[in-house]
Structure 1
Amino acid sequence: MSNVLAIAAVTQLLKDLLNDTLINGDVSTALGADFTVTALPLDRVVTETGDQPTQLNLFLYGVAPNPALRNADLPTRGRDGTLKRRPTLALDLNYLLTALSGEELHAEILLGYAMQLFHEQPILARETIRAALAAAAIDQILPQQFDPIRASELADQIELLKITPRPLSLDDMSKLWTAFQASYRTSVAYDVSLVLIERELPVRVPLPVLSRGGLSDPLTGRDPGVLVRPSLLGSAPVMTAARAGDGHPVMRLGGRVEITGLQLDGGQGAEVTVRFLEPGGGRVLALAPEMPVAPDRLLVRLPATTPLGAGNPALGTASDPASWRVGPYLVDVLIRQPGGREMVSNALPLALAPASTPSVVAAAPGVDLTLTCAPPIRAGQSLAILAGQAMAVLSTPAAPITTASAHFDGLASGSEVPVRLRVDGIDSPVIDLSATPPRLITVTIP
């Protein structure tokens, strides 16, 4: 980072580059007169007496925080006000380059050389900065103790200095010159970015880490560190797919869920748990997979559709069908090692559809269809019954229910009709995938 002298150092650097460019171009011979390069306010370089000297003036008319890095160092202090990291001041510098001369075309020649320099060298290399500031005339106005650090700190900051033309409207230019009460001379504006200023302040220094904490090795009492396995595969469990065991795109109570992936068994002695998370409510239902578990495949049996009786110790757990809800779930695998270390796989979505059994009775002039539902339909869930291509939208229940009924007209007697229960937009499956070829599961209309 640079120190507080960075702004002055940048101005001196640009002055030195402009002066070297004019000398190397032998501008004095072309003009037939001497020239100077200054960094003065506009009212001090413009003369109204007619004896205007030939000169280039570089005036710093604006300094602004850099919008990209102005808050990059936050937070700098802790709760008690202790300084944790040094505040860094990121600045953009705005310069106005003006050519002046009492002779015809001399100002234009100087301006041409200067603009060509900034166009050909928009990024200032570190060696260029060191060389320019090593023998700068600023030595005469700054204390001697600043000399050794001035060049190195500006040249060694993280960001290089970049010079960019800044178009100024006629209105902005006239306001700038009017503020100095000076007659306008041809000028060009440039932005120099980025200057980083940081002071050498004492900060709170963290101690070296002896142990990462958390679970400890039973022998050493400290963190066991990184576990290495002689395998090209990673040690963390990874799920590649989660699907219903019967081949449907949704799972149902009483069925299986098949999970495939890598490192799903956790190794010898590990405890494996498959978790089902409701995205909205945040409730987690955990089930143990069927034994034996394999590194690339797990099978989980969902609870049966039959409600549990009163006093059953499984009430309210993942083994209770009433604990489940028709809707989407996120499925992941939790592995707990013998030492207590836990690893969690990625999560994949899988929806729970209603497990439903339809029944139909004649009710002139149509029929009444009744469907059971497991798990129970919760209060607030949308509900509909679909018979073939007909739909009956039912009222949202105010309390959990396990059956839903609707009346349908126009269904031909003796016809085979597939019937579905739709809860929150999820239909109960009506395709028998065990048959070859697959067939629809239907009811006979009386």
Structure 2
Amino acid sequence: MSNSLSIATVTAALRTLLFNHLQVDTPDVSVTTLPPDKARGRDATNHQVNLFLFQVAQQASLRNMDFPPRTRSGESGVPPLALRLTYLLTPYSPSDDDVESHKLLGKAMNVLHDHPLLGANELRAAVPGNDLYRQAERVRITVDTPTLEEVSKLWTMFQTQYRISVVYQVSVVLIESTRPSRTPLPVLRPVLSIQPDVVPPFPVLDAITPPQQQTSARLGDTLLLTGHHLAGDTVGVRFSHPLWSTPVLRPATVVSASRLTVDIPNDAAAWPAGTYAVSVVITDLDGNEHTTPALPLTLAPRILGLTPNPVARGPGGEVTLTAAFQPRARPDQRVALLLNGRELPAPARATPVDTLAFTALDVPPGDHFVRLRVDGVDSLLIDWSQNPPVFDVSQQVTVT
């Protein structure tokens, strides 16, 4: 949280931010923080942006909340003063040319649009002695859209002619209370002890672990599922995929009441890549079925080959790679080839395919790692079977 200089700090930081960016294209610009009736002098002939703070309101969502580390468990303190600052931004141009004013307004709005957050360094340098930059909440700048009646009342209050303006809100600004918090002594002899039971009384699936610390599973992998109360007379694992009309139930091998394993079949035609919902289905002798809440599992594609490799660049530096992979990509799946940090979308297709050609422009010569992305799930570029893990060289292509 911060001290009482916070309001002045925000105003000064906004003024500096606007001036530093506007003076690049408009050298004679000045940024002022005056009331609208006093902002523009009669003899002024330069470009000007006036930033006027006309409203300070409390942030209702934070007004009754204690903030650590001011208070600990069992303590009470005065909540900080959480404020929302509202500014009126008005442009002026030489000879009161409306077109020039509109240009300046557009530049100023673009600056604040590109800088929606006031950074710690900007706040630290704004006003000596402030500590607003240390508060946990970020100071955000958002444009506001008051009604025409509200804008009219604002300008009428200052008894000056209306000028095109825009309203911005800056929040949240937290000013720490100077009142001390209440800190009672710790309990010397507790007379009551409560130990919660953290083990749920019903079947729960806690985690799904692919082999070899992989981030995703692949076809043919054996998964380790851990949780609570997973044993039963008949135990299966239910897989659901957005492209399936009905889920698939696979038999599970029970290791213990908290651990079981299940195999993903090596069926490239039936099991598409992507994100699955996985749950454990437990059936007792009476036929009662218990299903755990589902957890997500990502099934990654596997690149089987890249041709040609090495690949020669064309006259414009372009290269075309053909990737063979499994499982097959269906027509309604999003597929892309990632060449280092570049994403190359796959062409449209009418049927499931396991081979696609991708073209990249302006590819520099050298070695490039390649990944295949299907519905947001990438092929495994890291070989987790090695210690330490290394990049899989089979997913590397040489451009000449």
TM-score by length of 1: 0.40
TM-score by length of 2: 0.45
